[in-house]
Amino acid sequence: MSRIIFAALVSALFADASAAQQVPGRDLLEFPLGLLAEPAALSSRMAGSLWNPASSALDGNGRWQLGFAGLATPQDQGVRLEMIGAEYRASRVITASLSFAQASVADIIRTETDPQSIAGEIPYATTVVSAGAAARRANAAFGITARYRTASLDAEHAGVLALDAGAIVDRVAGTPVRLAASSFLFSPSRRKEAATYLAAADVPLFRVDTTLSTRAGYAITHTEGRGGDGYAFGTMRYRQFDASAGLSQARMFGTTNRRLRLGVGLRYGGYDIALGREDGAAGFGANYQFVLTRTVK
């Protein structure tokens, strides 16, 4: 029954927002793929810079970075997302990035005039291929990314090109404030895609030499035609361990949802392994995220 409801919601979504979103599958990319409880605009945990092109800028500690991320929702929702990404520091300043992300919904049954299913399932999926470059200068990083998104909903197949840009400044006007902003899926063909705009800022709370550090901040996200959210978060790093937590308040289609996000990670020997959890919305259970990256010097 939950999948019938989900399929109905999907159909209603495209009926109401067809003017702003002609390529299906955009709603599947509302999930925090490659993220834990840190804001998307500031996160550099996953290789491939899905959310902020500037986050792919590697510093002098790494030449290559490879990563895999996955996200799964409860069985009654049936959404799965996977991503692989790579970054290569081509020079002291420039880093090139490449990523492939896919999202899909399983077991959406096909019906006609009553809830009785008929043969075959309704395919509903989207894929994003991204290639970009980022530059680091002093305490700032800037990046641009070209993306091509393809999607399918039943017999409908479509694709759209997007061009994104982003920036991260580690110290604003000599203060310890860190600031980031980026776009996600901004398309020159505005009628076919709904762009997302992200911004975030955080400040250090306290630090004990190189052993323990904590930061806190706030992030905002807005997607055209869908709404946005505000996110208050905090992060902590202790030696090789790190943890993050935050509370998101999203308003979408006239409904407000509050969701708690939690994440823990371990960095050791060039590997970064992390797990995350985010409360579900609209009556669904929590989704869980996994990120694994390998940095090669």
The dihedral formed by the CA atoms of 279, 283, 285 and 287, expressed in degrees to the nearest 10: -50
Worst-scoring range by mean pLDDT, 57-71, 110-124, 197-211?
Answer: 110-124
Q: pLDDT tens digit string along 206-251?
A: 888 778 999 999 999 999 887 889 999 999 999 999 999 999 998 7
Residue 109 has pLDDT above 70, yes or no: no
Return the higher-pLDDT residue of 114 and 166: 166
CATH of the domain at 58: 2.40.160.40
The β-bridge relationship of strands 156-169 and 178-184 is antiparallel
| C-alpha 121 chain-centroid distance | 27
pLDDT of residue 6: 47
Q: pLDDT tens digit string along 144-198?
A: 999 999 998 877 889 999 999 999 999 898 899 999 999 999 998 767 888 999 9
Q: What are the structure tokens assigned to 225, written together? A: 């035609």
pLDDT of residue 292: 97
**Range among 51-65, 83-97, 119-133, 278-292 with highest mean pLDDT value:** 83-97
Q: What is the mean pLDDT of residues 264-275?
A: 94
Q: How many domains does the chain have?
A: 1
53-72 per-residue burial string, b: 16 or more CB within 10 A, e: under 16: bbbbbbeeebebbbbbbbbb
Structural domain range at position 112: 2-296
What is the percent of the chain where pLDDT is above 90?
61
pLDDT of residue 113: 55
Residue 14 has pLDDT above 50, yes or no: no
